[in-house]
Amino acid sequence: MEPRDAPRPDPAEGPQPDPREAPGPDSLEQPSPDPLDVPPTDPLEVRGLTVRFAGLTALDDVGFTVRPGTVHALIGPNGAGKSTCFNVLSGVYRATAGSVRFGAHELTGMPAHRIAGLGVARIFQNLALPPRASVENCLLLGRYRLTRTGFLAAGLGLPSAAREERLHRERVREIAEFVGIADCLDRPAGSLPYGQQKLAELARALCMEPRLLLLDEPVAGMTADERRRTAAVIAGVRDGLGISIVLVEHDMGVVMRLADAVTVLDFGRLIADGAPADVQNDPAVVRAYLGAGA
């Protein structure tokens, strides 16, 4: 029995869809989002973050906020706690105390796969591309969390599975073009120069359609030309895609050119947080990098 106030379909409009039917595979035929039309993301808020390992304090009451659509650099001398912080943000480590919130979601204690499912992608300092796989297939790995086709449908080669794969490959080509490696898609990943492999790592992270990128030393080991090219791509990710970025990087030239805000750690403690120019001239930061006599 229909509710008294329920609207009745107009016969002139033809047959109406049954609202009980879930969208089928054909719904995947909708065009993928434009790579330059990504909705604003949420802030990342770190409060009182503390991490201890068997009595050793790696992070001590650290707090900062990454504003939506900005590059936020996390810097400090070796052993300052940057990697530990990244490992907490991505779910590899669990905090002893404190809170990490991404918009409405509390990430503290959440497993890594669930954090990734919220749109948090990370690239590591060391390369992790399967060397014999094609660059295109490496990038397709980043689409895994977005795949709807089940194991059986993929194994049987059903039309719905073929359609979805075609759409994912189209998206991979769009992102490869954006990053500047579209001409490398058919090559084995291990055959690329080091700088292009790092760009492929970035492209694979972008294939996850992230809302927050964690970049761990993205220009480490690169030539000057490769650093400039990669920095330009990272700036394009922020400016063109509106994705928030947390950046760990030792190249201060890159940090000062890219970062909208900088947080500085030393021995697990926050010693400075603010605009790049202000942080660069902070006496505590100068001492941390140059020694107590600076």
**Average pLDDT of 264-276?**
96
Tell me how far apart the alpha carbons of residues 49 and 268 are, in angstroms, rounded to a whole number: 10
Q: Output the six-digit token pair for 96.
A: 């002893």
Q: For the chain, give the mean pLDDT.
A: 83
Give the integer Cα–Cα distance in Å for 289 and 77. 6
Report how far residue 209's alpha carbon sits from residue 211's, in angstroms, rounded to the nearest whole number.
Answer: 7
Separation between Cα atoms, residue 227 and residue 88, nearest integer Å:
27
Please say if the pLDDT value at position 145 is more than 80.
Answer: no
pLDDT, residue 291, reads: 67
Query: What pLDDT sits at residue 289?
Result: 83
Alpha helices in the chain (DSSP H): 82-89, 112-117, 135-140, 151-156, 159-179, 194-206, 224-241, 252-258, 276-280, 283-290
pLDDT in tens, 5-36: 444 444 444 444 443 333 433 333 333 444 43
What average pLDDT does range 175-186 have in this prediction?
A: 95
As given in the structure block, the two tokens for residue 81 are 């706690």
What is the pLDDT averaged over residues 249-276? 95
Which of 12-21, 125-134, 196-205, 281-290 ranks highest by mean pLDDT? 196-205
| 3 state DSSP class of 212 | strand
Q: Of 26 and 101, which is predicted with more confidence?
A: 101
Residue 162 has a pLDDT of 64
The answer to whether residue 167 scores a pLDDT higher than 60 is: yes
Q: What is the mean pLDDT of residues 37-44?
A: 68
User: Quick one: pLDDT at residue 109?
Assistant: 86
Does the pLDDT at position 127 exceed 50? yes
Q: Band the pLDDT of 54: cuts 50, 70, 90.
A: confident
Q: State the Cα–Cα distance between residues 193 and 221, nearest whole angstrom.
A: 12
Confidence at residue 9, expressed as pLDDT on a 0 to 100 scale = 45
pLDDT of residue 194: 92
Check: CB of residue 205 under 8 Å from CB of residue 142.
yes
